[in-house]
Structure 1
Amino acid sequence: MDEKTLDDVVAVLPPLLQALDRLGFVSRYLDPAQFDRVMDAVGEPETALAAERHRLEGWPAELADVQTALATASDAALSAFAALRVAPLAEDGLMASFRALRELPRALEAIYPLAEGLPPVSRFFLDPAHRGDEALVQRLAHAPGLADTGVLHFGEPGSRGGFSVYVPEYYDPAEPLPVVFALHGGSGNGRGFLWSWVREARTFGAIVVAPTAVGRTWAIQGQDADSPNLARMLAAVREQWQVDERRLLLSGMSDGGTFAYVSGLEPGSPFTHLAPAAAAFHPMMAAYADKARITGLPIHIAHGVRDWMFPVDMAREAADALARAGAEVTYRELDDLSHTYPRELNGPILEWLKATS
C-alpha cells in the first residue's frame, strides 16, 4: 500500500467506524417516543465521514477489494443517516426508520473482510469490553483462516428458507463450539440479523446460524414449515463443524423470539437452551408443553420495560408460567429497552449457555 493510499485509509476509517457505531446505538435505542432524543444523542457522525468519502476514488487496481469494501460501507452508512434524518417526515415514520437501519448490516458485511488485515476493523468486530484483549487480537491475527470459517451463506443469501453462518476464524475441530440459532424479527432476514451476533461469537467463541423464515415471517400459527428447516440446518452444521451438543441455543427477536418458544418447547426440538427476546408469549405455551421437555429446560428471557409492541407484562407472565411448569428460567428486564434487540446481553447469554447444561 503506497503512502497516499495509506493516508486515505487513516483518514476514512475512524469516521466510518464511528458512524457504524452510532448506527448501532440508534438500532439499540430506537423508540417512537424517544426518536428525537436518540438522534440528538448520536449527533452527526456522518458529516465527518462525508468529508473524507472522496478519498476512496482513484486507488490502484491491486487494492480494488479494499477500496470497494470501504466505499460500500461508507455509502451504506451515509444512506442510513440520510434516511434517518427524514424518517420523522414520512407517513410511516417508524417503518422508515427500520428501513434506514437495514443499511447497517450491509455496511458491516462489506467491511468485515478487512478485519483480517486492518487491526482497527478487527477490534471493532469484538465485544467492546474485550477490544483491549491483546491475546485475543493476536489469536485472530494469526488464525489459520480455514475455508469454512468466517461469514458464510447457504442458498441465495437472505432468501426464504436460506441461512447465513458465522464461524470464528480460530475454529479448531478439536474444540467443539456452542451453536446459536438467531432468528430475525418479522420484517427481517437471516443475512442481516447475523450481524447482531458476530462480535460476541468472535469474542467468546460460538458458531452463529441466522436463518430466514420460510414464509413472510416465522410459523407462529398454522402449519410449521420452519422447524423442519431449522433441523435440516442444524444437521448441515453438525456435518461441517464440531459442535458442543450440550449447548445448542435457539434464540430470536420479536417474531423470532416467539417462534423460539413455539418450536423450542416441542418435544422433538433438538435445542438444549432457549433465549427469546422482545417476544410474545401465551400461557398456553407453558400449560400444554410436554412435561418431559420443559422440566429443567434452561430458558433465558430478555424484555424491555419500554416495549411498545409486546408489553413487558407478557414477558413477566412467561417467566412465571415457565418456571411453574419446571423450566430453569433466567429473566432479564431492561428499563431502557424498547422493541429492539438487546445486543449487550449476547455476552451474558453466551456465559449463561456455557454455564448451564
Structure 2
Amino acid sequence: MSDVVVDDIVAVLPPLLQTLESLSFVARNLNPQEFGRVMDIAGEPDEALQAVRPRLADWPEKFAHIKTALEVSIEAALAGYAGLRTVQSGEGDLVSVFRALRYGPRALEALYSLTELPPVSGFFIAPELRDDAELQARLAAVPNDDTGVFHERNEPGSRGGFSMYVPEYYTPERTWPLVMALHGGSGNGRSFLWSWLRDARSRGAILVAPTATGSTWALMGDDTDTPNLNRIIDQVRERWRIDETRMLLTGMSDGGTFSYVTGLDGASRFTHLAPVAATFHPLMAEVADAERLRGLPIFITHGRLDWMFPVQTARQTQGLLSAAGAKVTYCEIDDLSHCYPREINAEILQWLNGGA
C-alpha cells in the first residue's frame, strides 16, 4: 500500500469512527426531552470528517475497494449527523431523528468490509476485549469459509428475509450458541444486526437478525412470523453447527414483545428469551404453556425512563413470569429510555453461556 494511501486512511479513519460512535451514543441515549443535551455531549465529529473527506479523491485504481467502502460509510455517517442537526436546529421531530439514525447501520455495513485494516477490526471488537491478544489473532487470521456477514432476501424495504453474522474463526468442530435478534416496530433485521454484531464477533456467537413478514411482528391476528423464524432456523442449521442448548431469542420493543408471543409457546425451539424494552399483557402468562414456562430462563431488560412502555410494566412482568415458574433475571437500567442498550449484550451472552 502506498504511503499516500496509508496517510489518507490514517487521516480519515479517526473522525469516521468517532462520528459512528457518536451516532451510536445518540441512539443509545435518545430521549425526546433530553435530545438537545445528548447532542451537545455527542459533539461535532462530523465537522472533522467533512474536512478530511476530500483526501479520498485521487487514489490509485487498485485501492478502489477500500476507497468505495470508505466513501459509502462516510456519506452515510454524514447524512445521519446532518439529519440530527436539522432536528437540533428546531426543524423536524422524533420521527426525523429515527430516520437520521437509520444511516448509522448503513455506514457500519459499508465499513465492515474493511476489517482487513486493524483500526477497523478493532472498532468491531467490544471495547473491553480490544486488548485480548488471542481474540485479535483469531480475527487477524484468514477467515474460514462460510463466515462473515450474509443477507438472505433482506434488501431494504423487503419483508421476511434475514441478515446474519458468523464469526470469521467459526469451525464446525464444535457447536455454537445462536442469537436471534428481533428488530423493533417498522424496523428491519439488516439494520438491527449491528446492535449485536460487535458482541457476537468478540464472544463467539452466530447471530441472526430476521425481518418481520409484515410492517411489524405478528402481535395480533394470524402469526406468519413464527413459521418464518422456524424456516430460518432450519436454513441456518443446514450450514452451521448450532448448540441446541443455547438458542437465544431476543428483541427490542415490538421484537421483544414478539419474543414473548412466540417464545412462550410450547413448540418454541428457543432455550432462552431476552426481551428488551418490551410490553407484556398479563393474559400472556395465563395462556402460556405451563410446562414451557417451568424453569424457562428469561432475561428482562428495561429502562427506568422508558416513555413508550413504562417500567412498571416490566416489573409486573417479572412478577407474573416468576410466579408462573420461569427463571427470571431482571435488569432495570436507570438512564435508559426506549432505546437499545448495546452494553447489555455481554451480560446476556454470559447468562446464555451459563455464567449467570
Q: Does 1:233 align with 2:232?
A: yes
Q: 2:203 maps to which residue? A: 204
> Does 2:351 correspond to 1:352?
yes
| C-alpha distance in 1 between matches for 2:251 and 2:173 | 29
Query: What is the rounded CA distance, in whole Å, between the counterparts of 2:51 and 2:184 in structure 1?
Result: 35
1-structure distance, mates of 2:129, 2:321? 34
Distance apart, 1:57 and its partner CA: 1.0
Quote the Cα distance in structure 1 between the aligned partners of 2:147 and 2:136: 17
The one-letter amino acid of 2:333's match is: L
Structure 1 residue 84: Cα displacement: 0.1
Query: Hey, what does 1:276 align to over in structure 2?
Result: 275
Q: Shift in Å at residue 87 of structure 1?
A: 1.7
Alignment of 1:1-357 (within 5 A): 1-88=1-88, 93-115=93-115, 117-142=116-141, 144-158=142-156, 159-355=158-354
CA shift in 2, pair 1:22/1:271, >3 Å: same
Check conservation: 2:86, 2:92, Cα contact below 8 A: no
**Distance of 2:102 and 2:37 partners within structure 1:** 21
Provide the aligned C-alpha RMSD in A. 1.2
Aligned partners of 1:157 and 1:164 also within 8 Å = no
Separation (CA, whole Å) in 2 of partners of 1:258 and 1:354: 23
Hey, what's the Cα distance between the residues in 2 that align with 1:98 and 1:241?
A: 34
Unaligned runs of 5+ in 2: none
**Distance (Å, rounded) in 2 between the aligned partners of 1:24 and 1:76:** 13
Pairwise CA distance, 1:356: 7.0
Residue 175 of structure 1 deviates from its aligned partner by 1.8
C-alpha displacement at 1:290, in angstroms?
A: 0.8
Q: Partner of 1:329: helix, strand, or coil?
A: strand
Give the number of aligned pairs.
355
Q: Work out the CA distance in 2 between the residues paired with 1:59 and 1:258.
A: 49
Q: Within 1, Cα distance between the matches of 2:88 and 2:82?
A: 12
Secondary structure, counterpart of 1:22 in structure 2: helix
Determine the C-alpha separation between the residues in 2 that align with 1:176 and 1:90.
52
Q: TM (normalized to structure 1)?
A: 0.97
How far apart are the structure 2 equivalents of 1:356 and 1:8?
Answer: 44
Structure 1 residues 356 and 294 mapped into 2: Cα distance closer, same or farther (>3 Å)?
farther
Q: How many Å separate the matches in 2 of 1:90 and 1:51?
A: 25
- Cα distance in 2 for partners of 1:91, 1:308 equals 22
Q: Cα distance, 1:146 vs. partner?
A: 2.8
TM-score (norm: length of structure 2): 0.98
| Aligned partner of residue 114 in structure 2, secondary structure | helix
Q: Is the 8 A contact 2:247 2:272 kept in 1?
A: yes
* Counterparts of 1:356 and 1:270, CA distance in 2: 21
The secondary structure found in structure 1 opposite 2:64 is helix
SS in 2 for 1:355: coil
CA offsets, 1:124-146, max 9 Å, x none? 0011111111221111101x423
| Kept after mapping to 1: 8 A contact 2:304/2:335 | yes
8 Å Cα contact 2:256/2:275 also seen in 1? yes
Q: Residue 69 of structure 1 aligns to which amino acid in structure 2?
A: A
How big is each residue's C-alpha offset from its partner over 1:239-273, in whole Å with a ceiling of 9 and x where there is no partner? 11001100000100000000000010011111100
Question: How far apart, in 2, do the equivalents of 1:98 and 1:205 lie?
Answer: 30
Q: Distance in 1 between matches of 2:237 and 2:90?
A: 46
Shift of 1:91: 6.6
Distance 1:330 1:255 in 2: 20
CA contact (8 A) 2:271 2:297 kept: yes
Q: Aligned pair in 2 of structure 1 residues 356, 347: CA closer, same or farther (>3 Å)? A: closer
Partners of 1:91 and 1:187 lie apart in 2 by 23
Aligned-partner Cα distance in 2 for 1:77–1:102: 10
Question: 2:273 aligns to what SS in structure 1?
Answer: strand
Q: How far apart in 2 are the matches of 1:180 and 1:256?
A: 13
